[in-house]
Amino acid sequence: MHEMGIANSLLDSVRSEARRFPGRHIHSVGVRIGELSGVNSDSLSFCFEVLVRGTDLEPLTLAVDYRPCLRECQSCGSRFTASESLTCPHCQEAESRIVGGDELELAYLEVEDGTGTA
């Protein structure tokens, strides 16, 4: 299960970034996960929770922003999600390229503002 390794890497990044905010607590971490990334968001969330439980990072939460496969038509330049067909819904051209949906990135950290609120 590579989601455990990904969750561990996310927590390493959180700890590294936390050094920039001494005396403050990170409440939430957001990630973007593309449909083509090969990452199961439910498994990642579970692994993240397991790794956070009982640590100094608790009650850190994970927010997942799921991104569908996004294609761009080679003919008209329209962008569309490739849900059931790879054909451009605007011009019906079959030639397109992937321009999104393979992301796996740390998007944001939510840090308390010094008054105890995020």
Six-digit token string for 69: 């496969």
Q: Which pLDDT does position 118 carry in this prediction?
A: 56
Beta bridge partners of 109: 29
Please name each of the domains of the chain with its CATH number. 2-69+100-111 (3.30.2320.50)
Q: Which pLDDT does position 114 carry in this prediction?
A: 63
User: Taking Cα atoms as reference points, which of 93, 94, 65, 98 lies closest to residue 81?
Assistant: 98
Q: Which pLDDT does position 3 carry in this prediction?
A: 96
Angstrom distance (rounded) from CA 62 to CA 13: 13
Beta bridge partners of 72: 79, 97
Residue ranges of the chain whose pLDDT lies below 50: none
Give phi and psi for 24, each to the nearest 5.
Answer: -115, 160
Q: What is the pTM of this model?
A: 0.82
DSSP code at position 103: -
Q: 69, 81 in Cβ contact below 8 A? A: yes
